[in-house]
Amino acid sequence: MKHLSKDVARPTTIFPCRPSWLSSLPVSYLRHCLQLQPLAVLAVLMLHLSPANADIKSIADPDWYWRGIEKPEHPVSLWNGDVEGGLLMISGNAPSTSFTSRVDMKHELPRWRHSMLLQSRYTRQDGQTTAEYYFAATQLDYKISPVNYTFTRLGYESDRFSGYNYRSSAAAGYGRRLWQRGPDYFDVSTGPGYRYSRLSAPDAEGRTIQQSPIVRFALNYQYHLSPDVIFKQSMNTEVSFHSGQSVSTSTTSLQSNLINTFALKASFSVQNTSPTPSGIRTTDTQTSLTLLYSF
């Protein structure tokens, strides 16, 4: 997809854009959550203090989105994204097989943006499965203006060795593009939601189901270090209103183009769940080197 955005003139005033629902939350609860999650502090401050990149235009004006931006002849794009995979097979005294895959797709329209993310990870060693992970998420954004949007997100995660059979969540809220230059951007978003989890084994109270309202914070950053090297950083956290349990994920990657649409990607991911079921570690990390195909 051809990136058509140019820098948009910024006004000299500061536009506070804190969601109204956030002000109604108990102060003591917010303080507790923010102390636990530094990312939450960063996201809320950026949403509240960041200067606006453009004024909000009336959606009744069909050209509102392209004010200050080069308008293309055909502002409709097809799906585009990345497909990546990695495989490691070892034979001999300690035979093992490891496989990881990831599909990241996006469909950009003048007023809508639809994104999907699919991930899997599998490891088998000495005839036994030692890792099995699946993740799927989809998000639909409606652009209020070139820099402000609302989002609706659904997510599902299954990790055989996390103490949960699966965890699913739904969230909706407000997002803001704090900065953009060509294909590079910095997005933050926050909003309330709901999480439903099924435990692999009953907890101390004999329950196998956990469900609670949550608040979600997320940021996504992309920057071209050179025409052929891309740095990406994504972070998100979901905090339960009832138990205070947080599920946080951070992924840092560096992508280098090889030839045409193929690239080599190195990434490091951290997932933290606190607290966790008994006998389960709070933090999982993954370092991977994969071959990536862009379309």
Distances (CA, A) of 276 to 41, 161, 247: 23, 12, 10
Amino acid identity of residue 68, one-letter, is G
Ranges of residues in the chain with a pLDDT under 70 are 1-77
Q: Quote the pLDDT of residue 50.
A: 42
pLDDT score at 206: 81
Taking only the tens place, the pLDDT of each residue in 18-37 is: 444 444 444 444 444 444 44
Residue carrying the six token digits 């939450």: 40
Predicted local distance difference test score (pLDDT) of residue 77: 57
pLDDT value for 88: 85
- Residue 249's nearest CA partner among 212, 214, 218, 280 is 218
What is the number of alpha carbons within 13 Å of residue 46 lying toward its C-beta?
22
Pairwise CA distance, residues 20 & 41, whole Å:
17
Q: Would you give the DSSP letter of residue 56?
A: P
The pTM of the full predicted model, rounded to 2 decimals, is 0.73
Domain locations along the chain: 20-294
pLDDT at 32: 44
**Domain 20-294 sits in CATH 3.40.190.170:** no
Q: Percent of the chain at pLDDT above 70?
A: 74
